[in-house]
Amino acid sequence: MKNHLESRDIRRVMVGTDRSETADRAVHWAAGFADRYDAELFVVQVVVPQYPSATEFGAAEQTRADAANNDLAHFARQVAGERGHALVITDVDPALAIVRAVEQEAIDVLVVGNFGMAGRKEFLLGNVPNRISHTARCTVIIVNTLASTGEQASDSVRTHRPKGDIPPFEPRLVARATQIATVMAKHGLTELFGQSDEPDIAIRRQQAKRLRTALEELGPTFSKLGQVLSTRPDLLPVEYIEELALLQSHVPPMTERDVVRVSEQELGVPWEDVFKSIDPNPLASGTIAQVHRATLESGDRVVVKVQRPTARAEIEQDLALLEVFAEKVGKRPALNRVIDMEAVFKHLSSSLHRELDFRQEADNIGRMQGVLAGYDRLAVPAVYRDLSTSRLLVMEEIQGIPIKQAPAGSERIEAARQLLESYYKQIIVDGFFHADPHPGNLMWWKNRIYFLDFGMVGAVGPDFREHLLLLLMALWQDDAAFVTDVTLMMTGAIDRGDLDVPRFQSEIGEIMAKHRTAALAEMQIGPILQEMSAVALRHGVPLPASLTLAIKALAQVQLATADLDPALDPYDVAGKFLMRWVVKRMGTALDPKTLIYQSQKLKVRALRVIEAVEHLIGARPGEKLVVNFRANSLEDMVHRTGRRLALGLTAAASVLASGLTVMSTGVAEWVPITFGIVAGLLTVGLVIDLLRGR
């Protein structure tokens, strides 16, 4: 064995284990091998999480992982002495985690056991030793751990030679920080962080243009950061938003070798085992990933989204620098007048981490499929989940045309209406929407509109959805005063004493009047909301981030529907949808179970109000007898009133429930009869109580 590897300078050996008996045989073999070369031995164990880290069970798993690290360190010292090191990693993909650890620790030789290598089928399904041997870029030795302890494992060793050398380490943060500072200084961006708020719009536009140019020069990561920021008018002035929206990602396409290497690392097998062919020319090339057409062995035509091999490392590196920057200079008053650095960093970090995990995009597609289930002219591509990972996404190829080229006809008209209505449903009903519906992400195929690219989605909570529902209804009814009230409720500024509410309402009314007199094809609710957002910012009451993203998406989709059907009235679509939704909610509220539940809640709340009144007037027993004596009549009256109110409400609910159930064909006959009897008894009781109280 030594002769076979004597040409290599072996300084670091790594061995994987799951602490089973067979895996520990590989550890002992690796310890002997490292000893012969006087090399360091790294024993690595991958713990596969079963629960999210934020949950109680996830925290318990992390505690067990910490304990496993201590045990593994003790085991490593036992087998290799001071040269032994332990490394416990928590990851859902053991093979890929080990490969990454090899690169991070600059390992020369990796040793793994052959346990689980049980034929071609298991190999294709992701056998860990085979996946490691295929993807690791160092020498891999697979030892026969199934042999008895007394046998010589060296007789059953298979060596995998790397195709290339271990890639160099990423540049240090200091070098990258120096490069960023140099580019910023070249474009004169130090003015942005050093001077007070500039009132001249022309100067602000010039600064914004220099910022865009600098971000483009800094490369893919900063271009992506600028693109994300262009969706947040609540964080940046409008001049910067408009300029960043023009950002172009000057990203060279990935090489065929990189595309194949990432694909095979994620699939765990040679790409030929999965794909019949892959088009070498990219369909699209972005800052994080590249998309190629391909054909599966089954003959299905698909598109493959492959993450750039350096994307995660570059983004993590630049985010680390941005975090330091935010901590050091983010609290300077001059800078905070231009940008909220803490909010920017938080938003960028969460957005980019989501986009780096393609599994989240696959989940978004699945969720949107459910949201659009009621629309026969809208669809999303199917996802091949068994072939998709965090860095590889395989989807059905949408073999269509841009929606502007959709053939004229009833299908196109109906699709336009459904597209617009679906966004009201996505935002108001489901609280989950496609946040980037520009024309490039909407395709026409099989007489349907397909949504593409779910890397950017938005989510809104139930309270916010209620406010937005009221806001759209107020816009539909052209009620500027109520629009103002709802807007202030959304921003939490309803009780602001320093806010000039009449002026705020006047500006909102002017926006609504301007759009109401526009041509039908120009009557877009999205632009109205965008202008309202700008007014709110001027008055120091910025709208929530979720609303600004929803506004941008709604504006984009309404431009698309105007191209499909210029005669479509967005107010009419919104109004009819809102009315149907409100009626549906009222129908749900009239459900007998809901009525009974709400009546009981009302009874409890009424009693609590009565108790509060008793405490307020001192009707509860106390030390002063005169107070109790004088309050007794009032106390009796309050109790009597509460009792009669509860009887009356419950009787009314029973009557209504009896009437509703008697008309239902799916309810047994005894149910309405029972409700009727209960209603009669409660009514008799109420009458008796009234007569006795005279």
Q: Is 93 an active-site residue?
A: no
Highest mean pLDDT among 164-168, 389-393, 559-563: 389-393
Q: Which pLDDT score is estimated for 446?
A: 93
From 225, 275, 219, 272, select the one nearest 249 (Cα to Cα). 219
Which secondary-structure segment (H or E) carries 141?
strand 139-143
Give helix 501-516 / helix 480-491 axis angle, nearest 10°. 120
Q: Which pLDDT score is estimated for 659?
A: 63
Q: Which pLDDT score is estimated for 55?
A: 59
Residue 293 has pLDDT above 90, yes or no: yes
Condensed to tens digits (0 to 9), the pLDDT of residues 472-507 reads: 777 767 778 888 888 788 777 776 777 778 888 888
Exposed/middle/buried for 482, CB within 10 Å: 0-12, 13-18, 19+?
middle
Condensed to tens digits (0 to 9), the pLDDT of residues 1-24 reads: 444 455 457 899 999 888 877 788
Per-state percent for the chain, helix, strand, coil, to nearest 5: 60, 10, 30
Q: Which pLDDT score is estimated for 628?
A: 44
| pTM for the structure as a whole | 0.57
Q: Which pLDDT score is estimated for 444?
A: 95
Condensed to tens digits (0 to 9), the pLDDT of residues 240-280 reads: 877 887 776 666 788 888 898 899 889 988 888 899 999 98
Residue 599 has pLDDT above 80, yes or no: no
Residue 333 has pLDDT above 70, yes or no: no
* Local confidence band at 184 (pLDDT 50, 70, 90 cut-offs): confident
Residue length of the chain? 694
Task: Show Cβ contacts of residue 42 under 8 Å, excluding neighbours closer than 6 positions.
Answer: 12, 13, 14, 15, 76, 85, 86, 87, 101, 105, 107
Of 24, 436, 453, 565, which one is the catalytic site residue? 436
The structure tokens listed for 332 are: 């300077």
| Residue/partner pairs of 58-64 with CB below 8 Å, 24 or more apart | 61/90, 62/90
Highest mean pLDDT among 164-178, 404-418, 448-462, 620-634: 404-418
User: In the 8-state DSSP scheme, what is residue 383?
Assistant: B
Which secondary-structure segment (H or E) carries 131?
helix 128-135
Tell me how far apart the alpha carbons of residues 330 and 339 are, in angstroms, rounded to a whole number.
9
Least confident of 9-13, 127-131, 271-275, 312-316: 127-131
The structure tokens listed for 234 are: 């609540």
* Local confidence band at 153 (pLDDT 50, 70, 90 cut-offs): very low
What is the phi/psi pair of residue 310, to 5°? -100, 0
Torsion angle, CA of 673/679/680/682, rounded to 10 degrees? 140
Mean pLDDT in residue range 126-148: 68
Tell me how far apart the alpha carbons of residues 212 and 428 are, in angstroms, rounded to a whole number.
34
With beta carbons less than 8 A apart as the criterion, state whether 198 and 207 touch: yes
Tell me how far apart the alpha carbons of residues 1 and 35 are, in angstroms, rounded to a whole number.
13
Walk across the sheet containing 157-160 and list its strands.
Answer: 84-90, 40-47, 12-16, 109-113, 139-143, 157-160
Rg of the chain over CA atoms, in angstroms?
A: 33
With beta carbons less than 8 A apart as the criterion, state whether 70 and 113 touch: no
Task: Show Cβ contacts of residue 30 under 8 Å, excluding neighbours closer than 6 positions.
Answer: 13, 14, 15, 41, 43, 111, 143
Tell me how far apart the alpha carbons of residues 222 and 201 are, in angstroms, rounded to a whole number.
25
Q: CB atoms < 10 A from the CB of 30, how many? A: 29
Q: CB atoms < 10 A from the CB of 382, how many? A: 16
Tell me how far apart the alpha carbons of residues 361 and 291 are, in angstroms, rounded to a whole number.
14
Highest mean pLDDT among 42-46, 89-93, 215-219: 42-46
Q: Which pLDDT score is estimated for 625?
A: 38
Walk across the sheet containing 442-445 and list its strands.
Answer: 378-379, 448-451, 442-445, 401-402
With beta carbons less than 8 A apart as the criterion, state whether 298 and 264 touch: no
Q: What string of H, E and C letters represents the secondary structure of 21-56?
A: HHHHHHHHHHHHHHHHCCCEEEEEEEECCCCCCCCH
Mean pLDDT over all residues of the chain? 75
Which of residues 337 and 320 earns the better pLDDT score?
320
Tell me how far apart the alpha carbons of residues 330 and 229 are, in angstroms, rounded to a whole number.
16
Residue 592 has pLDDT above 70, yes or no: no
Phi-psi group of 415: left, alpha or beta (phi > 0 → left; psi -120 to 50 → alpha; rest → beta)? alpha
What is the phi/psi pair of residue 307, to 5°? -75, 140
* Local confidence band at 519 (pLDDT 50, 70, 90 cut-offs): very low
With beta carbons less than 8 A apart as the criterion, state whether 134 and 272 touch: no
